[in-house]
Amino acid sequence: MIAAIVPAHNEAALIGACLQSLQQAARHPGLAGEEVRILVGLDRCSDATEAVCAHFGVDVLHLDAGCVGVARARLVEIALEQGARWICCTDADTVVPDDWFAAQLACSAEAFCGVVQVDDWEGYARSVRRRFARSERARDGHRHVHGANMGFSAAAYLRAGGFQPLNCGEDVALIDAIERAGCEVARLGAPRVTTSARREARAPNGFSHFLKCLEAEASHCGDAPRISPVPSAQAGKEAPATGIGFIPEWA
C-alpha cells in the first residue's frame, strides 16, 4: 500500500484541488492497481477543510500540533500502522501530476526529492519569476527539499528516525537523516508539483516569505516589481534546503 500524507490548517479553499489530483494520480496504470490511501491531518482547523475531505472520501486525523514536524510524524505513524510501504508527502495547497505516485515508485531509490512550480504568481513582477526559475533548478541531481514533493520507503523512514518535532526544516532534517543512514535519495526534476505564490501566508518564513525575499532582491537591483496584493488563506510551504525554511507556527 502507498500512502499520501497532507497536513492542513484551514485549507478549505484549496485542498479540494489537491485531493482531486491525488485521487487522479492514484489511478495511474503504472501502479498496477496497488492501493493508495490519502490521509489528511486537520491541524487546528476551524473552517470547512474537514467537510471538503469528507466530500472526497479521504481519511482525516484531527491534530492539535501547531507544528509541521509533529503533524507529519503523526500522519506517517498512522500510515505505517495501516501497512504503507511507501509514503508520499505533499501540502494542501499543492496539485500533483498524474504520474506522481508511479514515478516515485519507479525511481529505484529509498527516497525521492522533487521540485515545485508556481501556477499563479499573484502580481509578482517578471523579475521575481526569473529569479525563482534560476533558484529552483528543475533538473536531476538538484539539492532542493520540499515537503510538498517528497517520498520515502517505510524502511528508510524508520532507519532515519522519522520526522523530528521541528517548526522549521523538518523535511530537510529527515532527508539528511535518510542519507546518513546510507539510503539512496533520488533527486529528480520530475515529477514536479504545482503550488501557488500566495502573498498572505500564515507561515512567517515559508514559501511566501521566500518569494518576497526574491522580490526584495529584484527591487534592490533596480527592477522594482509591480505589486497587486491578493489575499490568500493558504499555509506556508517549504523552500529549498539551500534557501528559506518552513515555519508553520499555526495558532
Give per-residue pLDDT as tens, 8-48: 999 999 999 999 999 999 999 999 999 999 999 999 999 99
pTM above 0.75?
Answer: yes
Q: Which residues pair with 4 in a beta bridge?
A: 38, 88
What would the mean pLDDT of 63-86 be, rounded to a whole number? 97
The Cα-based distances of 184 to 46, 136, 199 in angstroms read: 40, 22, 36
Place of cell 504520474: 99
Give alpha helix (H) positions in 82-145.
100-105, 126-135
Window from 63-67, 139-143, 184-188, 236-240 with minimum mean pLDDT? 236-240
What would the mean pLDDT of 191-199 be, rounded to a whole number? 84
3-class SS of residue 209? helix
Query: Do residues 117 and 214 lie in contact, with contact meaning Cβ atoms separated by under 8 Å?
Result: no
Q: pLDDT by residue (tens digit) across 204-245?
A: 566 666 766 777 877 766 554 333 333 333 333 443 343 333
Q: Which three cell numbers stand for residue 78?
A: 498512522
Phi-psi region of 104 (alpha: psi -120 to 50; beta: other; left: phi over 0): alpha
DSSP 192: -
Query: Do residues 124 and 207 lie in contact, with contact meaning Cβ atoms separated by under 8 Å?
Result: no
pLDDT at res. 38: 99
* CATH of 2-220 among 1.10.3720.10, 3.40.710.10, 3.40.50.1000, 3.90.550.10: 3.90.550.10
What would the mean pLDDT of 59-73 be, rounded to a whole number? 96
Q: Which three cell numbers stand for residue 214?
A: 526574491
Query: Do residues 112 and 186 lie in contact, with contact meaning Cβ atoms separated by under 8 Å?
Result: yes
Domains in the chain: boundaries: 2-220
